[in-house]
Structure 1
């Protein structure tokens, strides 16, 4: 199968680092995010990756051209930002298979893609996580204090999708899949999910995320 990596963002929250390198090349444990992602995809038998790039695309292409990662890499370059839906639609022209995976360009995880592939047009879901301390209360008294935790039975989009090729014609030329096709498919009963509990998952969107991910990444992607 093939996978699309959405790697065209500017990574504004990681400034000033992203003034000099694109977010996919921000290092986690001295290895760029995008290389960790490619290693992860390869573990599940992905033989070709299409990388949607825009900001500093030449730097990403130059870096990966020097690496031997054991799969085919192609690029879908956006001259102007297309949003997630537009990016997938453009990259989809390079896909002939009946289905494919999509992963956000800042996601590092060990979610089982084989399980996700068992359903058509499926979103990987993980239990909602809070970055803040949780107060347990009775009336106006605090009875317990817990550090950040997963919130049971509240599910969030993990930024990894298994999509059928026929979804491409529904996608906007410019716009986000999460705001256009997904709500429409959900209303029509055409959108599925696979729920993953007790998985490792990081969306690297801040320096704190980088620090926390660095502590775990070598165990997540072996």
Structure 2
């Protein structure tokens, strides 16, 4: 099994942070965002990961390679931004050996609620002989904040978007993962395209079947700084309260951020790397502190994320950092 990770985008809604750090490399709970996608798919034992690159490509490669992943790593370097469909088409030579491959966004935070769901999704995909099986979940924002995946009574995909489609009986939320038959390449021309609205819809119009698989999970939006901080708060609460998904996140931390320590106090929940210089009384609310960061004793940090190798300096009257994402 081979995996394509979409990691070329510019992350415009998370600027200015993404002007210096590619979004998939931004630390979430002290782990690069792309690792959440890699870890999610680990149960399929993929042998190769293909990352497409464009925006801050060298920074992305540095972060990926420093993560010491076990799979073969390949980069598909785009000279212009090709979109989700065009990026797959440009990398098609990597996906000709196997009948199926998986596409995943490289900046999703997905916490599965059950084990072996991807194995079940793969089994369903192969039995249905669908050209694509889209992983979906329920979400209150479908049709308003997010476009939905619109389905008929037989669970066939009819289309995408916020507006209901004729014949559809319900809409689901796309979580950023699709299982593809390699036949999809027939519907991906050269150049820029969107995998949902252009390529999958072209296949459906020409008679191909596209299905969905209901994936039981917590899915978190990280597109804006506000969303990122809200997702951070929710994930810290999952771990501290031992809610569904806590074991999954704890295991990720053990593998990818073993020096990060979870600290639960009356005034907050903190995830602090052991190499950082910080006094616990400086922190309140939900706080993340990355590796080798330094906080001046006069600083107070509230509901914020301090990235790796950050120095928050003392000012005349001290400094309070509240509801902030500080990455450089």
CA distance in 2, matches of 1:154, 1:192: 13
Structure 2 residue 116 is the aligned partner of structure 1 residue 125:
no
Q: Which has the higher contact order (CA 8 A, sep 6+)?
A: 1
Structure 2 residue 188 is the aligned partner of structure 1 residue 162:
no
Moved over 6 A (4+): none
CA distance in 2, matches of 1:213, 1:36: 13
Which structure's CA Rg is the greater one? 2
Cα pair distance change 1:203/1:47, threshold 3 Å: farther
Residue 87 of structure 1: how far off its partner (Å)? 0.4
Is the Cα–Cα contact under 8 Å of residues 28 and 213 in structure 1 kept in the other structure? no
Is the Cα–Cα contact under 8 Å of residues 128 and 154 in structure 1 kept in the other structure? no
Cα pair distance change 1:46/1:213, threshold 3 Å: farther
Specify the alignment match of 1:62 in structure 2: 62
Instruction: Count residues with an aligned counterpart.
Output: 202
Residue 40 of structure 1: how far off its partner (Å)? 2.3
Matches within 5 A, 1:71-150: 71-95=71-95, 96-111=97-112, 112-118=117-123, 119=125, 120=130, 121-130=132-141
Q: 1:192 aligns with which of 211, 216, 227?
A: 211
Is the Cα–Cα contact under 8 Å of residues 172 and 180 in structure 1 kept in the other structure? no
Is the Cα–Cα contact under 8 Å of residues 171 and 181 in structure 1 kept in the other structure? yes
Per-residue displacement from partner, 1:17-76 (whole Å, max 9, x unpaired)?
A: 111111111110111101232222223312211011110111111122222222111111
SS at the partner of 1:117?
Answer: helix
CA distance in 2, matches of 1:71, 1:27: 21
Is the Cα–Cα contact under 8 Å of residues 54 and 80 in structure 1 kept in the other structure? yes
Gaps of 5+ in 1: 133-152
Is the Cα–Cα contact under 8 Å of residues 36 and 110 in structure 2 kept in the other structure? no
Structure 2 residue 195 is the aligned partner of structure 1 residue 177:
yes
SS at the partner of 1:88?
Answer: helix
Cα pair distance change 1:114/1:208, threshold 3 Å: farther
Cα pair distance change 1:57/1:103, threshold 3 Å: same
CA distance in 2, matches of 1:177, 1:168: 11
Is the Cα–Cα contact under 8 Å of residues 54 and 79 in structure 2 kept in the other structure? yes
Specify the alignment match of 1:10 in structure 2: 10
